[in-house]
Structure 1
């Protein structure tokens, strides 16, 4: 195995095409293709799925690339120090439930990168997709919550998939509503206060298990309910329909409309937010930087961070 082969694989994964990668690497397509086939033969795995529309990494290829990038990062550090070579393009991916604090930290991460080249991905997605993204090495970090209702089921799934959950902070449930909603004048809200308002929640696709819900009290029967797929829509419906959802209480005024407020819910429960990673995977320097920014942002709201 040669370092150059790892560089070739990374470029192909980035371009999704051996032909396009060959152009940037100043190689012929056959020579690049042969270099990857030699690597596959030596490692005894299939790294690329080749189709008439291009190439993509196989699950084994995605896992291999994770470890390959760690090697290339170390090589680049040596070259930076002794050959004054410019830093490598930073690559990082996070998958999370729909939380403003996740997005805010991601924005700060992008601002902190001292380079005009990077490859970053933020996926606000369904709970099952978070687990799949981590298992398939599509994302380095996942962010979701546990509470007394879903902890046992999800913890079992984490163990089966080789994922480690690390707590970030605990929060009491809050109701997110429009500041023009009649309930916005109250210091706290009871469950019975919400009976005549439309409940808004995030859809969970085909795996519509109550345990995968992003909101607590997922089994509570509501008269009116709308499922959505993104935060912009859920906020628009809070304003347009006086709808509500239940979450952490953190609203980023820098990123979200100031028409939304969080009111404490009179319900005895604790929501524990945390991050996930593959058990055998070491976080990259970019991943660690993102976690630091995430913790810093959450502390700004007065929450105690687990260390």
Structure 2
């Protein structure tokens, strides 16, 4: 089976006639018939039914065409991609939970994109999507914060996807709320303190605790607000008595990405729910690219600075 034969079959299916397809392909009808017969013999199935009015797809032919069309379209995409530009010297993608230090590391990497062509992507998404992006080769790296009690469960899951988790740091959890919040005067906050306030949490595609980005997960609290993006979470924390929990919400109380985030403060959460393990995912049998290594160096530097700041 060749790519050329697949193109022949698609043209026959679209034209519904061997003679019309041959004219469009600028080949003889006998050549096209021979190619079709050869392919059907190799596959051991009949792709078309011949009638006086032309040809129609058999059941096997309909199934075959779906896959053949996808292969040809992907090949055409590759040809167009690389014929239009000889090279893409900078190509990198990362998927991450809603973690500001991932974004900051990506920005530092992006600043080095001084070439004429590049193709870079960062995807902030839920935990399940991060895993599938890396497993499906959509992203080279995935950035996760995993609760200590869920670390072993998550590592077992990642083995089934042939993905490795490499830990960068183990960090404390902080509670984030606005400066005018009733708990803002405290230097350390307990879970008991938080019970009567709304917990704003990232929605997960899979409602299983080890997929949660936040250590508490919504099932443990009575007031919960689910969001899908970081800007909405910050807006709720800034303007209401909602609180957030994690290693980082803004850039240590003030993030240049968001006007007014200086109104958000971080307070240490008493060690009742364990630590967070920050790290990155990559496919087990692949090596990290040079751009990936640069991104990780920025990520590790930012996390070190985060730890050193103590969210003060």
- Tell me if TM exceeds 0.5: yes
- Aligned-partner Cα distance in 1 for 2:118–2:69: 26
User: Given that residues 234 and 249 in structure 2 are in contact (C-alpha distance below 8 angstroms), is that contact kept between their aligned partners in structure 1?
Assistant: no
- Aligned-partner Cα distance in 2 for 1:135–1:245: 29
Matches within 5 A, 1:1-307: 50=69, 55-56=73-74, 88-205=88-205, 207-218=206-217, 221-249=220-248, 251-252=250-251, 253-256=255-258, 257-268=261-272, 269-303=274-308
Q: 1:49 to 1:99 in 2, by over 3 A?
A: farther
Q: 1:91 to 1:195 in 2, by over 3 A?
A: same
* Equivalent position SS for 2:287: coil
User: Given that residues 178 and 240 in structure 2 are in contact (C-alpha distance below 8 angstroms), is that contact kept between their aligned partners in structure 1?
Assistant: no
Q: 1:100 to 1:49 in 2, by over 3 A?
A: farther
Deviation of the 1:147 alpha carbon? 2.9
Q: 1:303 to 1:277 in 2, by over 3 A?
A: farther
Q: 1:284 to 1:49 in 2, by over 3 A?
A: farther
Deviation of the 1:211 alpha carbon? 1.4
* Equivalent position SS for 1:251: coil
Q: TM-score, normalised by structure 1?
A: 0.69
* Equivalent position SS for 2:257: coil
- Aligned-partner Cα distance in 2 for 1:193–1:244: 11
Could you list the per-position Cα deviations for residues 239-294 of structure 1 after superposition, in whole angstroms to 9, with x for gaps in the alignment?
Answer: 22210111014631233422222110112411110001001111111111101111
Could you list the per-position Cα deviations for residues 166-193 of structure 1 after superposition, in whole angstroms to 9, with x for gaps in the alignment?
Answer: 1111111110111221212211111111
Q: 1:56 to 1:197 in 2, by over 3 A?
A: farther
Deviation of the 1:56 alpha carbon? 4.9
Q: 1:193 to 1:284 in 2, by over 3 A?
A: same
User: Given that residues 203 and 228 in structure 2 are in contact (C-alpha distance below 8 angstroms), is that contact kept between their aligned partners in structure 1?
Assistant: yes
Q: 1:140 to 1:238 in 2, by over 3 A?
A: same
User: Given that residues 141 and 287 in structure 1 are in contact (C-alpha distance below 8 angstroms), is that contact kept between their aligned partners in structure 2?
Assistant: yes
- The total of aligned residue pairs comes to 234
- Aligned-partner Cα distance in 2 for 1:116–1:242: 47
* Equivalent position SS for 2:232: helix
Deviation of the 1:223 alpha carbon? 1.9
* Equivalent position SS for 1:182: coil
Q: TM-score, normalised by structure 2?
A: 0.68
* Equivalent position SS for 2:222: coil
- Which runs of no fewer than 5 residues in structure 2 stay unpaired? 1-24, 26-66
* Larger Cα-atom Rg: 2
- Aligned-partner Cα distance in 2 for 1:184–1:293: 31
Could you list the per-position Cα deviations for residues 1-41 of structure 1 after superposition, in whole angstroms to 9, with x for gaps in the alignment?
Answer: xxxxxxxxxxxxxxxxxxxxxxxxxxxxx9xxxxxxxxxxx
- Which runs of no fewer than 5 residues in structure 1 stay unpaired? 1-29, 31-47, 66-71, 73-85
* Equivalent position SS for 1:137: coil
